[in-house]
Structure 1
């Protein structure tokens, strides 16, 4: 029996898992690492922490799986995207990584948008906005604010590419990440060279890995150094993965036109699959070939979702009892006795793409308790998801059901709120660990066990349950949703008062 080692490199930890060819997870171990936050919505991590976490988690997961290390055939990783790393010639980090949720590069994002370059068609059809989260704005921030680091950097890449370098010694980027966040396009013929020229950043293209490998493609095998640290053979194939959310699409089995994927965790991401390209305001994409060959991906996203629940927990000094909060919150009517939450705690990705927008809790009274706020946060996140699906529908992309992966799948209440606020069924596969399952499918495909990613999905992704929207609650949420939509322009007008 062949086995596959995967890693889900997230915001708070890296989880290594071992899978068999039927998609069963045999071992799973998470190792945390630190994120340092500072003013200006900045968030950074030490890239070497990712590698240390991977080595520890992988060894322990293989031991837990009770298999011989020699039976591991391939490795594939799903990691956070927009996590930018600057490395010297020896592959050593020159500074902490600027992670995905860091939006310090807002001015640089505006500068990218101001170029009006053809490559910006993937941003609302060319009208933008451009997100401060993405690779080019962050690299431009480095060039402007830390020029000595930018000049010294031999490689500027992402979390995924740093791990590839540590595993294989190869400087290779994922077609998934470069299509999503570096304005690379197979339809357009490659790099956004003219955009970089217009912002005076042509040197960046030379610092990017020049080898691009599509998800499921074999990058190489483990280097002797990596094999020694992991306790594995140098014959183990390293198969290209990509952004955790997009690899999660594979793990959810969302591969056909018309399907919708909702990847949940610290943030939410919404994805659809189409055979034809289109661009429109309020959505990102479509991106060619970035997950499946000859298919396009349309995207929306919320920056803060599960991380808002974590924030509430910090405010409660570790006293938050999820079971108790859920039990009480279930008994509340939609609207939580007048509470309304804007979910922009770390800015807004879509449909507004406003890095300066912030979260809000509106309608508080002395009668409200923690479970009111707890549920209102879930409802606000549900409304944020609906706003994105509405933007997709306006562009002509309508889904019939939402397939959910990640943390929200553990909460029956949150799943029901998503179904009720969106007004469509929510499906949950047997495994909620979509990025890891997707990485396992890619590893098995790259190792030669499946002729295509689709074939791997059929064999390794197992169906689960389906939650239908409730007619009464959906109607109530329709009214509250209109109030939610009014929050953003109202709060923006307050923000802009000088």
Structure 2
């Protein structure tokens, strides 16, 4: 031991597991990453849960080894939202998988989702939740119906990891449990409603808030992971919430846009937002605030679909056209339509025009998301934090600042693993104060051409309304 104190975070993604070790001031002194593989076939998307554990152990060993032996005082983990499996507690393994892991976008639980939609729990409506077929709850029902038996329990992706880290079945955090049907207001399971739908109470883990202590690193796994026996293991959050922490978007009125293949909006509010359209849902933060957000299917994925990948050689073209950037059929936020597809308003004549129209669509889809939450009465104040693949391009960043009409901030590192290290470190200081200490200053991009995309935005909104996908009243 060197006498230094540090914190560890783990991010279980779809394609890899990443681990970091960060010091008190947020300096990352150790990193580890291990690739994951899965099985996709139509609506099926599965992974081997044992591969998650092997990858976490190896990523942690690499990160702690590179860090050089500081005292890791605590660890937290995040995972993909809606990923679920069944496990059992047996001698030597508190979370032995009984099934494959059904990933966040596995969509086979169609009948179960319809059953939930026909008779939802009243607490979900009160919290603005409308469970979808890719949520964990219908998939948990789907798994239970196919794998009944005593001793089984529902586990989220991170629950398998934390259970093995502490050597006994771990409670699950209310963030990951949101899409499994937990009531975010009370932090409890609506047992009567879930039992009525076919998910008995015995299958469900106990619930804790993110940041609560789950236990301590078990001697059986300490050496393999490089963590000290007795290290605190605290409850984590979903991967999206972990990235929000790393982006430093933690105070009311602040919003972040993760612009990559798709577009994800997340923000902070003091009260639970009410969205009559049902496209916005809210996590409860570790400090008791609400983190409303929504995930749009629109995004820069259309650039890859059309051009095979980023095309910096086509950036810079000015065009009086905009493409709503959907790669498939259907949109889920800021409006819900099963029929929505990509379309272009205005004329395009060559690849540079098409590229520019898609870029403008990515920016204006994000603006539409912000206008949706503002229309619900939520504060949208000051700069917007931008993360995701688009931040690799200065042109894209500056286009966002102009198109959103507000300052854009790009975090030094918006990695979910770092967000979990910050959560593990928060303790009595609280999440906001800890993030200020541990997160590096963001790069700032003020708008240079205010109003640059206003006319295009008005035409885009008009077309969305004309097609019947978007309701009247969106500011344009």
TM-score normalised by the shorter chain: which range applies?
Answer: 0.7 to 0.9
Matches within 5 A, 1:13-412: 13-40=16-43, 42-65=44-67, 67-68=68-69, 71-90=71-90, 91-121=95-125, 125=128, 129-143=130-144, 147-151=145-149, 154-169=152-167, 170-178=169-177, 180-185=178-183, 187-188=185-186, 190-199=188-197, 201-203=198-200, 205-210=201-206, 212-265=207-260, 267-283=262-278, 287=282, 290-303=284-297, 305=299, 308=302, 316=308, 320=309, 322=310, 325-328=311-314, 330-334=315-319, 338=321, 340-343=323-326, 345=328, 347-353=330-336, 356-357=338-339, 359-360=341-342, 362=344, 368-369=350-351, 374-400=355-381, 401-412=383-394
d(CA) in 1 for partners of 2:40, 2:366: 26
* Residue deviations 1:146-169 (CA, integer Å, cap 9, x gap): x23244671212112121122113
For residue 444 of structure 2, what is the aligned residue in structure 1? 466
d(CA) in 2 for partners of 1:484, 1:423: 21
Shift of 1:240: 1.5
Secondary structure, counterpart of 2:17 in structure 1: strand
* Match of residue 444, structure 1, among 392, 407, 425: 425
d(CA) in 2 for partners of 1:85, 1:307: 29
Secondary structure, counterpart of 1:176 in structure 2: coil
Secondary structure, counterpart of 2:96 in structure 1: coil
Instruction: Tell whether the 8 Å contact from 1:420 to 1:477 is kept in structure 2 after alignment.
Output: no
d(CA) in 1 for partners of 2:235, 2:187: 21
Distance of aligned partners of 1:351 and 1:363 in 2 relative to their CA distance in 1, 3 Å threshold: closer
Distance of aligned partners of 1:490 and 1:272 in 2 relative to their CA distance in 1, 3 Å threshold: closer
d(CA) in 2 for partners of 1:490, 1:121: 22
Secondary structure, counterpart of 1:436 in structure 2: helix
Distance of aligned partners of 1:44 and 1:375 in 2 relative to their CA distance in 1, 3 Å threshold: farther
d(CA) in 1 for partners of 2:282, 2:362: 25
* Residue deviations 1:211-236 (CA, integer Å, cap 9, x gap): x2322222111122321321332122
d(CA) in 2 for partners of 1:116, 1:175: 19
Instruction: Tell whether the 8 Å contact from 2:159 to 2:170 is kept in structure 1 after alignment.
Output: yes
Shift of 1:242: 0.9
Secondary structure, counterpart of 1:157 in structure 2: strand
Secondary structure, counterpart of 1:86 in structure 2: strand
Q: Does 1:481 align with 2:460?
A: yes
Instruction: Tell whether the 8 Å contact from 2:32 to 2:61 is kept in structure 1 after alignment.
Output: no
Shift of 1:326: 1.7
Distance of aligned partners of 1:406 and 1:227 in 2 relative to their CA distance in 1, 3 Å threshold: farther
d(CA) in 2 for partners of 1:417, 1:99: 34
What TM-score does the superposition give when structure 1 sets the normalisation length? 0.82
Instruction: Tell whether the 8 Å contact from 1:6 to 1:440 is kept in structure 2 after alignment.
Output: yes
Query: Please, which moves more after superposition, 267-276 or 412-421?
Result: 412-421
Instruction: Tell whether the 8 Å contact from 1:283 to 1:392 is kept in structure 2 after alignment.
Output: no
d(CA) in 2 for partners of 1:406, 1:248: 10
* Residue deviations 1:238-294 (CA, integer Å, cap 9, x gap): 122110111222222222211112234554322222222231124556647x21333
In structure 1, the gaps of 5 or more residues are 492-498
Shift of 1:33: 0.9
d(CA) in 1 for partners of 2:278, 2:174: 20
